[in-house]
């Protein structure tokens, strides 16, 4: 659970730490998750670039076939020019650790993808939420569901060994809102994810989940469009979030 508010900085956010707690609650109560590691402004281990990359790697390395893993990042995101020609739009996406000072000290999508490629084992499922700006393809996964429910395949990317599902806060060209809903600061996408699970239950398909999240955000005046991507091909009409 990575949530960065960037406290006492010009770029301070207000809902990201709340997002980690709210996601923990739904994973515990709805899915029975028991073990959590937190990296926030308030934890002893801070969400630095080194700690985020180490913790994601450790999560994957310590798994065995049959395990289900969850990774949340709530914080700032940014983008830069793609230099290795693996992006369909010529743009790399990045997340912003608490100690980042420039693009080079951010975490680029290529680094996240490489960790998954090197450490995700067959038979392991990783579900990731990225509530950040420019996050549509932040894990550089091969299969991406567009807003018309068409699956866009990136031929520059190979399938992952285990399955990865990722929901982003928005497209690669959009920003994700840090907002105030129900008397609490929260990421808008995280709020829509939790509300949808609470309303429709854990047997909802991933297609229904993302579509309802999009509708909820639109109805509340947000322009951002959450994206769904995966490391392997799957049936969007039957695949559920069940761990």
Q: What is the pLDDT of residues 71-86, one digit of tens each?
A: 999 999 998 766 665 5
pLDDT at res. 81: 66
pLDDT at res. 156: 87
H helices of the chain, in order, are 16-31, 49-61, 109-119, 188-200, 206-219
| Average pLDDT over all residues of the chain | 93
pTM of the model: 0.94
**101, pLDDT greater than 90:** yes
Kindly state the average pLDDT of the residues 11-38.
Answer: 96
Q: What is the pLDDT of residues 215-229, one digit of tens each?
A: 999 999 999 999 999
User: Residues of the chain with pLDDT > 70: what percent?
Assistant: 95
Using CA atoms, how far apart are residues 39 and 45, in angstroms rounded to an integer?
A: 6
CB 56 within 8 A of CB 48: no
Q: What is the pLDDT of residues 57-68, one digit of tens each?
A: 999 999 999 999
Tokens of 43: 């934890």
Specify the pairing of strand 2-3 against strand 39-40.
parallel
pLDDT at res. 87: 55
Higher pLDDT, 85 or 160: 160
Domains of the chain: 2-230 (3.40.50.12660)
Catalytic residue IDs: 76, 133
Kindly state the average pLDDT of the residues 179-202.
Answer: 95
**150, pLDDT greater than 90:** no
CB 197 within 8 A of CB 129: no
């Amino acid at each position: 659970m990575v949530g960065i508010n960037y406290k006492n900085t010009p770029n301070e956010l207000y809902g990201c730490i709340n997002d980690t707690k709210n996601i923990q609650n739904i994973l515990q109560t709805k899915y029975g998750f028991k073990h959590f590691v937190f990296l926030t402004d308030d934890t002893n281990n801070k969400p630095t670039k080194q700690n985020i990359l180490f913790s994601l790697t450790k999560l994957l390395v310590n798994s065995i076939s049959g395990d289900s893993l969850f990774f949340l990042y709530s914080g700032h995101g940014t983008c830069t020019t793609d230099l290795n020609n693996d992006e369909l739009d010529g743009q790399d996406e990045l997340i912003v650790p608490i100690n980042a000072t420039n693009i080079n000290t951010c975490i680029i999508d290529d680094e996240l993808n490489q960790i998954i490629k090197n450490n995700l084992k067959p038979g392991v499922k990783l579900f990731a939420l990225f509530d950040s700006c420019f996050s549509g393809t932040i894990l550089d996964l091969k299969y991406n569901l567009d807003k018309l429910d068409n699956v866009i395949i990136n031929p520059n990317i190979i399938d992952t060994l285990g399955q990865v599902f990722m929901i982003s806060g928005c497209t690669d060209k959009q920003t994700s809102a840090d907002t105030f809903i129900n008397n609490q600061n929260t990421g808008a996408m995280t709020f829509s994810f939790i509300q949808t699970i609470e309303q429709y239950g854990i047997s909802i398909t991933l297609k229904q989940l993302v579509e309802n999240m999009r509708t909820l955000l639109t109805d509340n005046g947000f322009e951002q469009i959450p994206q769904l991507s995966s490391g392997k091909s799957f049936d969007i009409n039957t695949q559920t979030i069940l761990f």
